Each structure stands twice: as structure tokens, then as C-alpha cells.
């Protein structure tokens, strides 16, 4: 019994013309059955493409390496943050100066308003004291002074003392708050 080896035709195609030779090899690259001539040509073509690919990627890698070789820390890190901070400082000083001037004027207005009220209230108290002095003078000339008159006089003197004490506590307080600067980084994802 004889065994026959079934051969496959070459699958090469040269400009629309199929090769009539029997295939001798199978290309692992493209899974085509090729005759020895076409396999050699195909192999040379694949080698050429591979070398071109490797050469171009070697060039890309060399270019990348050179870029890293001459790479330095960006001015976005070394300089720009300080420029931003200085701009913020300058703007903040300008705004702070404007705000301080506005608040200075508000304080002056409050002082002017207070002066008017202060003068009115202190004049009222002085008038009350003058009346109390007259009442005291009248009482001192009387031979008999009632307790309720003394009590009334003491109450009015205490009211005046309390009022004077409250005036001594008057003030204008300025509440200030600290500045806030936030620093964010956008570095390597570590």
C-alpha cells in the first residue's frame, strides 16, 4: 500500500497571478502555505518589515532617552508657584489696603455718631447731677430729712455711677481673621 502525500498549492499571489507550485512551508506569521521561492521572498519581506519596525522603534526609544537626558524640572514647579504667590500677595495687599481704608472710614463714622450720643448723654447726666446737687443743698438746709428723700438721692447717685461705669466700658472692637493660602501639588501618582 502506498501512501500519498497530499500537497497544498502555494497561496502566493503575484499581481493577481496565483503560483502553481506546491507549498513547502507554512508561514507562522500569516498562516499561509507557500512554495520555497515565495516562502523565501515572504520571509525576506517579513524580516525587512521587522527590521524597519525595530529600527524606527529604536530611534523612538533613543529620542525618548535623549529627551529624558536633557529634561529638567519645569518652571511650572520651580518658578510659577512663586509668581502666583507674589501676585496673590500683591493683590491681597491692595485689597487689604482698600479694606483697611473702608474700615477706617467706618470707624470714623462710628466715632462721629458716638460723639453726638456721648455729648447728649453726658450733658443729660450733668444736668441730673446739678438737680441732685440742688436737692442735696435743699435737704441740707432742712432740719428734718425723710428717709425716702435720702433713699431717692442715693438711688439717683447710684444710677449715675452705674451710667458712668458703663461709659467707661464703651469701646470699638475690630475683629480680624487670618489669611488662608492653600498649596496643592500635581506630582507623580505615587
pLDDT digits (tens, 9 = 90+) for 112-137: 988 998 899 999 999 999 999 999 89
User: Does the structure show a pLDDT above 60 at 43?
Assistant: yes
pLDDT of residue 152: 93
β-partners of residue 33 are 26
User: Does the structure show a pLDDT above 80 at 3?
Assistant: no
Q: Three-class SS of residue 26?
A: strand
Identify whether residues 80 and 60 lie together within a single domain. Answer: no
Q: Which of 118, 139, 136, 116 is nearest to 128 (CA)?
A: 136
pLDDT of residue 180: 62
Identify whether residues 49 and 123 lie together within a single domain. Answer: no
If phi > 0 it is left, if psi is from -120 to 50 it is alpha, else beta; for residue 35 that is: beta
Q: Interhelix angle for 147-168 vs 80-141, to 10°?
A: 160
Name the pLDDT band for 142 (thresholds 50, 70, 90): confident
Identify whether residues 65 and 79 lie together within a single domain. Answer: no
In a domain, 23, yes or no: yes
In a domain, 61, yes or no: yes
Residue with cell 529624558: 68
Identify whether residues 64 and 85 lie together within a single domain. Answer: no
In a domain, 60, yes or no: yes
- How far is Cα 22 from Cα 34, in angstroms, rounded to an integer? 8
pLDDT of residue 99: 85
pLDDT of residue 7: 82
Identify whether residues 38 and 121 lie together within a single domain. Answer: no
pLDDT digits (tens, 9 = 90+) for 47-89: 999 999 999 999 999 999 999 999 998 888 899 999 999 999 9
- How far is Cα 56 from Cα 50, in angstroms, rounded to an integer? 10
pLDDT of residue 56: 94
Supply the range of the domain harboring residue 62.
Answer: 13-69
Mean pLDDT of all residues belonging to the chain: 87
- How far is Cα 39 from Cα 46, in angstroms, rounded to an integer? 10
Residue finishing a domain among 31, 50, 69: 69
Amino acid at each position: 500500500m502506498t501512501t500519498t502525500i497530499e500537497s497544498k498549492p502555494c497561496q502566493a499571489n503575484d499581481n493577481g497571478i496565483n503560483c502553481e507550485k506546491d507549498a513547502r512551508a507554512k508561514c507562522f506569521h500569516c498562516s499561509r502555505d507557500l512554495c520555497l521561492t515565495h516562502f523565501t521572498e515572504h520571509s525576506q519581506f517579513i524580516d525587512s518589515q521587522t527590521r524597519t519596525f525595530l529600527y524606527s522603534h529604536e530611534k523612538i526609544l533613543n529620542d525618548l532617552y535623549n529627551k529624558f537626558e536633557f529634561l529638567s524640572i519645569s518652571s511650572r514647579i520651580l518658578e510659577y508657584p512663586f509668581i502666583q504667590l507674589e501676585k496673590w500677595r500683591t493683590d491681597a495687599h491692595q485689597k487689604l489696603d482698600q479694606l483697611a481704608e473702608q474700615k477706617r472710614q467706618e470707624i470714623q463714622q462710628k466715632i462721629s455718631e458716638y460723639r453726638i450720643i456721648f455729648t447728649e448723654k453726658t450733658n443729660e447726666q450733668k444736668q441730673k447731677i446739678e438737680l441732685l446737687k440742688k436737692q442735696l443743698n435743699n435737704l441740707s438746709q432742712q432740719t428734718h430729712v425723710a428717709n425716702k428723700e435720702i433713699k431717692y438721692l442715693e438711688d439717683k447717685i447710684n444710677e449715675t455711677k452705674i451710667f458712668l461705669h458703663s461709659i467707661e466700658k464703651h469701646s470699638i472692637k475690630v475683629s480680624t481673621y487670618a489669611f488662608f493660602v492653600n498649596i496643592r501639588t500635581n506630582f507623580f501618582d505615587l
